Structure 1
Amino acid sequence: MLKKGSKLYSILTGTCPKCQNESMYLDKNPLHFNKILKMNENCSHCGLHYQIEPSFFYGAMYVSYGLNVAIGIAAFIISFVFFDSNLKVAFIVIIASLILSFPFVLRLSRNIYINMFVSYDPNAKHK
């Protein structure tokens, strides 16, 4: 399921969507907040320019919105339905889960967005 060549591999690992040989990010750890959005300009293996056009990753905001809605709904269902909490506690759980998942959603939304436009090329050569 998670093998090189699949979109899911590139999305979950944050590797170049074209060759999947290196990370797109300068620092692989999303918990280093001062480097969370720092990306390489190009892939050193295949030469893919990550910033496909100016302000390319602004589109990732829409992906991030969808991911955050899904997390919020899941947090609500888990706290309100399964743990039978009141609405105030469910609201606090939603806010806490969104704050805790923020760095992961930020990176994941960028990974998903660039993978919508760039496909894996097994013949991508070093440039």
Structure 2
Amino acid sequence: MNKVKDHCPKCKLKYHIEPSFYTGSMYVSYAVGIAVAVATYVLSLIFGLDFGPTGILLSIILILLLLMPYIGAVSKSIWAHFFLKYNPEIAKKVSNDSRT
């Protein structure tokens, strides 16, 4: 699920970036995880779920474990958007390409 392809099947763009890219996305993953944990806590308060401190901690851990693959994928995407820009002209050329 969280596997990145080596190259784009249409334009042959190399997807693998230097290892420091993944270190940077790890920091973004930490921030996204904190946001999910805070959202879980706030939602438990809004819905009036009184688990106590241990129950809230366990529910946050459970939610983070369930969402771990998605948090990893989203964090890589967020980090990549700092460095890679969308170019509609290149996208149009690739979508008109009949190789795939």
- TM-score, length of structure 1 as denominator length: 0.62
Alignment of 1:31-50 (within 5 A): 36=2, 38-50=3-15
Query: How many residue pairs are counted as aligned between the two chains?
Result: 92
What's the Cα RMSD here? 2.0
Alignment correspondent of 2:57: 91
Q: How does 1:8-19 map to 2 (within 5 A)?
A: none
Could you tell me how far 1:48 is from its partner in structure 2? 2.8
Q: Does 1:116 align with 2:82?
A: yes
Regions of 4+ moved over 6 Å: none
Match in the other structure for 1:21 = none
1:103 and 1:54 map into 2 onto residues whose CA distance is 19
Structure 2: tracts of 5 or more residues without a match:
none
Paired with 1:41 and 1:84, the residues of 2 have a C-alpha distance of 45
With normalisation by structure 2, the TM-score equals 0.77
Partner of 1:69: 34
Deviation of 1:81 after TM superposition, in Å, equals 4.6
Q: Structure 1: give runs of 5+ residues left out of the alignment.
A: 1-29, 31-35
Q: How high is the sequence identity, in percent, across the aligned residues?
A: 34
Rg (Cα) greater in structure:
2
Distance 1:94 1:87, change over 3 A: same
Following superposition, the deviation at residue 95 of structure 1 comes to 0.7
